[in-house]
Structure 1
Amino acid sequence: MQRRQLLQWGAGLLATPALLTPRAARAMEPVDVELVLAVDVSRSVDQEEQEMQFRGYANAFRDPRLADGIARGAIGAIAVSFFTWSDWDMQKLLVPWTRIDSRAAAAGFAEVLDAAPRETFLYTSISGAIDYASTLFGQGFEGTRQVVDISGDGVNNSGRPLATARAEALAKGVILNGLAVLDRTPTPPQLIGIQRPLDEYYQDEVIGGPGSFLMVAEGFTAFESAVRRKIIREIAFHAPGPRVERAFA
């Protein structure tokens, strides 16, 4: 290549700086909200109950009202990821960040959830779930809000103190919402008067941040109704409603 051609080629590169920008340094894609769905698969959740959770989330994304709600946002798109959690070191990302901007995209997300593996582990580490969820933000998308949706049926019994994990997430600007499932299995006599009501526990110890709220599913049979209402409310910027809302089968 002659010197003149080299100079012309070099000038062309300088005129297109995007070609020289490292991929990681490029601007992230804007969305209305980055929503992390964190689902409890500890041993207190049996196979039938776990299936109710997965089916509840999948059917929520099939609901046209959800896609229509997303379309009404300032940008008209959200980013969603989905992982399961149990022990302090047991979190599995089943669906990485996915852009939802239409009914078709939402239905596609639901199909991935249908095909996702179902596994059950031991303990209940809400602190571990919050810590893991906090690491997922800022990966290709930039939302006006960063929200973690934690569903579960038990209290933190593994990992570091929940208060510490919660405080660190809130300091980063993450909003923590909760979906507490009130299992209707009778409480053993020796625990009556000792166990704290799960909805109170989630309200006081788990949720936090501007506009945070708790959805209470009155049993796993109410889970699908609860999660549909919850996600539709989460994608709204100014979501009206009480701090604690209840869903029944």
Structure 2
Amino acid sequence: MRLLFALLMFCATPLRAQDTDLELVLLADASGSITEAEIRFQRQGYAQAITDPEVLTAIRTTAYGSIAVTYVEWAANQQVVVPWTRIATAEDAEAFAAALLAPPRQAFGRNAIGAALLRGRDLIEGNEIDGWRKVIDFSGDSPNSYSGPPVAAARDEVVAAGITINALAIPSERYVRNGRNTLPDIYRDRIIGGFGAFVEAAETRDDFAEAVKRKLILEIAGPAGRPRDVAGR
């Protein structure tokens, strides 16, 4: 009798259905190495990318026809700039872009990469959205971390939660060796993780918006739609 009652209760309990294709945390560098002008430059790059017709086409052709996105700046602290927003139409994307460009800088101080990754995880786990895929889109110009949990431990916790971490390497002269930017390799080794994780690189500051666009399209398409030579880990 108890077993029958338990089965009836289980059947009467509504199951939470997936309601969007992708939950995406845009985790943007706002540490001390990033100037105020670069904060605006990064935000403009993301605003331009999220409203790009190719990105909107990628969103429309997902299984659910929408994604959920939040923009967070990280440094010693982490602060949400634009809260979770469902994007399915050009109007949705324009509203997200407008909300992104308006506020002042939200994060300050030196790098705390591990804390930033865990904040991204918490934002995904604490929202009211159930996406088919869950991704943290980390961007930065350095692999160094000066406070908070170790990067490797935080990355492993995030990946264990079923979340993929991708990375965007912002150009920095500090990591150019023999004319080659080594930061993407460092991010591949130390930052990214999870199914289909990859690193995208902006070759120059002028290429930043295009690199963000490429990265968003790859993340929206998912591993099945990704060229074989892009996958990182």
- What TM-score range do you get, normalising by the shorter chain? 0.7 to 0.9
Matches within 5 A, 1:1-249: 27=16, 30-87=19-76, 90-119=77-106, 121-138=108-125, 139-158=127-146, 159-184=148-173, 197-237=182-222, 238-241=224-227, 242-243=229-230
Whether contact under 8 Å (1:29, 1:140) holds in the other structure is no
CA contact (8 A) 2:55 2:216 kept: yes
Aligned equivalents of 1:126, 1:174: Cα separation in 2: 16
Report the Cα distance in structure 2 between the residues aligned to 1:48 and 1:185, rounded to whole angstroms. 19
Q: CA RMSD in A?
A: 2.4
Is the 8 Å Cα contact of residues 49 and 220 (structure 1) preserved in structure 2? no
Report if aligned partners of 1:183, 1:220 keep a CA contact under 8 Å in 2: no
Question: Structure 1: which 4+ aligned runs deviate by more than 6 Å?
Answer: none
Q: Structure 2 regions of 5+ residues with no counterpart? A: 1-12
Aligned-partner residue type, residue 201 of structure 2: V
Does the CA contact (< 8 Å) of 2:198 and 2:230 recur in 1? yes
Alignment deviations for residues 159-183 of structure 1 (CA, whole Å, 9 cap, x no partner): 2211100001111110000001122
Name the CA distance, whole Å, in 2 between partners of 1:205 and 1:212: 12
Q: What secondary structure does 2:108 align onto?
A: coil
Structure 1: state its 5+ residue gaps. Answer: 1-20
CA shift at 1:236, angstroms?
Answer: 0.7
Aligned counterparts of 1:26 and 1:92: Cα–Cα separation in 2: 32
For 2:184 and 2:199, the matched residues in 1 are separated by 8
SS class of match (1:204) = helix
SS in 1 for 2:105: coil
TM-score by length of 1: 0.79
Identity %: 37
TM-score (norm 2): 0.84
Within 1, Cα distance between the matches of 2:220 and 2:42?
Answer: 19
Distance 2:163 2:174 in 1: 33
Number of positions where the alignment pairs a residue of Structure 1 with one of Structure 2: 214
More displaced 10-residue stretch of structure 1: 54-63 or 42-51? 42-51
State the 1:125 CA deviation. Answer: 1.5
The SS at the match of 1:229 is helix
Shift of 1:29: 6.0
Identify if the C-alpha distance between structure 1 residues 185 and 130 changes in structure 2 by more than 3 Å, giving closer, same or farther: closer
* CA distance, structure 1, for counterparts of residue 231 and residue 21 of structure 2: 23
